[in-house]
Amino acid sequence: MPELPEVETIKLQLDRLLKNKIIASVELRLPKQVKSDKKKFLKLVIGAKIKKVFRRAKILIMDLDDGYHLVFHLKLTGQLIYQKISRQSGNYPNKYSHIVFNFKTGDRLFFNDLRQFGWVKLVSANELKNILQEFGPEPLAKNFSFEKFYNIFAPKKTAIKPLLMEQIFLAGVGNIYASEACFCAGILPTRRADKISTLEYRKLYQCLRKILKFAIQKKGVSAENYLDALGQEGEMVKYLKVYGRAGEECKKCGSNINSVKQGSRTSFYCPKCQG
C-alpha cells in the first residue's frame, strides 16, 4: 500500500501538473470505484477547475473551484497516472484504468487499480473536515515535536511497531516505514511501547522523520504496483534495510533478517541490531 512518501510524491507532481486545469469529462469504466452518487459526481466534477492538490495521511485530496473536493485512496494497488496530450502512449488506458479524467487541454489522468480496493469520492467542505479529523498528527509537520511523539506512544502497553501504523496516532506511516524506523532506532518491532526508554524514543522519532524525508526524495518504494504520477518507479526499495528482506543478510551486521507476524501484517527485523 502506498504510504506517506509515495502519496506525497504523487501529490507534489499532481499539484504542479493539475493546478488550474479544467475537467472536461470523466469516464467511469468501473463505477464501483466511485464511493459517491454517480450522477452527482459527474455533474459537479465535469467543468470544475482543480485549485490545489494536497495530502493527508495516505489520502490525496483535490480542491475544486465549485467548493467540493475529490478524495482518493489508493489502498493496495491504486495508481494515479498523468499523461500530457503530447506524450500519450499505448500503455493507458488499459484494463486496470477504471476512471479517466479528461482535461480541456487534452491531458488525461488515469485512476488504475489492479485489485480494485482503491476509491475516489466527492465530498463537501464539512465532509472533508470530518475525514481529515480521523487521522493523527503528520510525522513531518513542523509542529510535530518529540514531546508530542513521546506522549502518544510511551504510555501504551502494546508492541511499538503496530502502534506506529495506527492512523489515529500517526498519519501516513505503514508497514514499510514502521519496520525501517524500528531498525534504524535499534528497537525490536515487538517491544512494548511502555518499556522503551526516553533515549530510544528520541532515536525512533529522529529515524522516522529522516527515513520519511529520504523516501520522498527517492519517490517512494515501488511495491504492489506503485508508480508515481508520471508512471515511473520509485528508487527507495534499493535503500530498505529490513522490509521485505527476510532471509537476506543484514546490511549492517551480516546476520539474517527475520520476520514475525504482528496481527495481519509481517514485520521485518535484525535480531542482532535490534533489541
pLDDT of residue 87: 74
What per-residue confidence (pLDDT) applies to 219? 98
Indicate which residues carry an active-site annotation: 2-3, 58, 265
Give the whole-angstrom CA distance, residue 9 versus residue 15: 10
If one looks up domain 146-269 in CATH, what number appears?
1.10.8.50
Superfamily of the domain at 4-132: MutM-like, N-terminal (3.20.190.10)
Domain boundaries, the chain: 4-132, 146-269
- What pLDDT shows up at residue 137? 99
Give 88-113 pLDDT, tens digit per residue: 777 889 999 999 999 999 999 999 99
- Helices 146-153 and 198-217 cross at an angle (nearest 10°) of 110
Mean pLDDT (the chain, rounded): 97
Task: Name the strands in the sheet holding 119-123, side by side, starting at the edge strand that comes first in the sequence.
Answer: 50-56, 59-64, 69-73, 119-123
Please list, in sequence order, all residues whose beta carbon lies within 8 angstroms of the beta carbon of residue 16, skipping any fewer than 6 positions away.
Answer: none
| Predicted local confidence at residue 125, as pLDDT | 98
Q: What is the pLDDT of residue 261?
A: 97
Alpha-carbon distance of 176 to 242, in angstroms, equals: 9
Ranges under pLDDT 50 in the chain: none
Secondary structure percentages of the chain, helix, strand, coil, to 5 = 30, 25, 45
Helix orientation angle between 198-217 and 4-18, rounded to the nearest 10 degrees: 40
Residue 144 has a pLDDT of: 99
Q: How high is the pLDDT of residue 238?
A: 96
